[in-house]
Structure 1
């Protein structure tokens, strides 16, 4: 993992066939369905999905699974993406923590206990597929008889689906619970996941052994945001990929010539998401 970057190369923006992209995580239907409706009328792609190369002109989505799902669902032939190889030195892989709010902790535990292969024990355990940090300071370890990352992902999908259906879910990178509870007063617990490696992400995409939505966290130094690329250019089924790629190159040259592309080296908070 690379840290403390003070510079980054220009983003590698490409137009690729939608069917050349594979997700590594389940899409979030609560987010994907409104996105599908919105995309039908949108004029621009604002933040391109982030992808990494796999093999033979295939890509894995690092960030943007819901956007990919929406494009595929609408049968748009091409997508604008930012390509960021894992071995570039500019990609960091971590995990989000899930904050579970507006639900009863006791009911959550009861539904976990009803899962066929999940065992719950008090305290931390190195074998756990996840830990739950409750607001009353209890720590629960979730154990499952899994062999390898693919089976672990399947077990985690069952766990996450419980609070997806019943609670309000937030994601956070905060690691100190004393910082979490004041920000989320209705929260009853935080789910902490194990770390993943780039090879795990690629394998999840290749074998469709998906992670639950919102666990993997990719940080790319030099991320392209607020791109505002015309969506009709991607929807167009009459133009070839080569034509669209040339159009993108010309568009990028115009943006640079007009000094409309600016690099921000500092970490930022955005208040208009």
Structure 2
């Protein structure tokens, strides 16, 4: 599939209880999001989900929004559905830049994580679950034994928890370390994670051992953004799920008819996030 022939996004309203996270939610983001949603009238960006099993879905992006909908008692939620085998979804990982902390304090706390084995960068580490690049040039490989998904996710949750609460966490997709340090002058370490597979994401949603927040990165061709769907249509307790999806379809047809939908094929950087 080329960028020129991406189909319209598959937008549906589904039971909120059917949407399962594969990563831990970030309470630092969820708490203010919940408060903001109390006064909002539109859903701007629907969470992205993929079919999981039966009538359930796994959240690929938007775990904090799903958590907030549950916390506010919404029975139904608007989502965009894109399966891994659709050709529309690419799975990658974010890198974490640890900022505004002390490198020695970071490494000291890292050594306290019980599941981890930490090796120097020149050691023979076959396939670490993550690699830490310190700003002064040193490298550390992080491993777990046995190397299985549940223990890997548990260890990484502990690692990310360290700097989530003691430092400033910045995500980046930049590959060149020199560029990373240039754009993050207060950065003390870069954490790169071993890639995940789609099967591992699905298993993390089903098995009860989620990834830490902000590690998986799903790139979706044809992502629906700035949808601005009325929240009162989602929260209406007197309308069935089937009727709500019929309302959604009519709303989408009207949007297209009035030329309110535009497709951008190019990759972009947004400067007013």
1:37-61 Cα offsets, whole Å, 9 max, x none, are: 0111111110100000112111000
Separation of aligned partners in 1, 2:162 and 2:226:
34
Q: CA deviation at 1:71?
A: 0.5
Q: Give the CA RMSD over aligned residues.
A: 1.1
Which residue does the alignment assign to 1:262? 262
Q: Which moved more, 1:109-118 or 1:130-139?
A: 109-118
In structure 1, the residue matched to 2:28 is 30
What do the CA deviations read for 1:190-213 (whole angstroms, capped 9, x no partner)? 000001110001110011210000
Query: Residue in 1 aligned with 2:41?
Result: 43
- The Cα shift of 1:10 comes to 0.3
Structure 2 unaligned spans of 5+:
none
Instruction: Tell me if 1:206 matches 2:206.
Output: yes
TM-score (norm 1): 0.97
Provide, for residues 77-102 of structure 1, a one-character-per-residue CA deviation record: whole Å limited to 9, x for no partner.
11000000110001000000000000
How much has 1:237 moved relative to structure 2? 1.5
Aligned to 2:193: 193
Q: What is the 5 A alignment of 1:218-233?
A: 218-233=218-233
Is the 1:47–1:224 contact (alpha carbons within 8 Å) kept by the matching residues of 2?
yes
Structure 1 stretches of 4+ moved >4 Å: none
Residue in structure 2 matched with residue 73 of structure 1 by the alignment: 71
- 1:182 Cα deviation after fit: 0.8
SS of 1:6's equivalent? helix
Give the match for residue 52 of structure 2.
54
What secondary structure sits across from 1:156 in the alignment? helix
- What is the Cα deviation at residue 118 of structure 1? 1.7
Which SS does the other structure have where 2:32 is aligned?
helix
CA distance in 2, matches of 1:171, 1:5: 26
Say whether 1:114 aligns with 2:112: yes
Q: Distance in 2 between matches of 1:183 and 1:269?
A: 15
Say whether the 8 Å CA contact 1:32–1:69 is kept in structure 2.
yes
Which deviations, in whole Å up to 9, do the C-alpha atoms of 1:230-262 show, x marking residues without a partner? 011111122110111010000001001001100
Match of residue 234 from structure 2: 234
Gaps of 5+ in 1: none
8 A Cα contact 2:153 2:211, kept in partner = yes
Contact residue 132 and residue 141 of structure 2 kept, 8 A: yes
Structure 1 residues 75 and 146: CA distance shift in structure 2, 3 A: farther
Structure 2 residue aligned with 1:144: 144
Q: Does 1:168 align with 2:200?
A: no
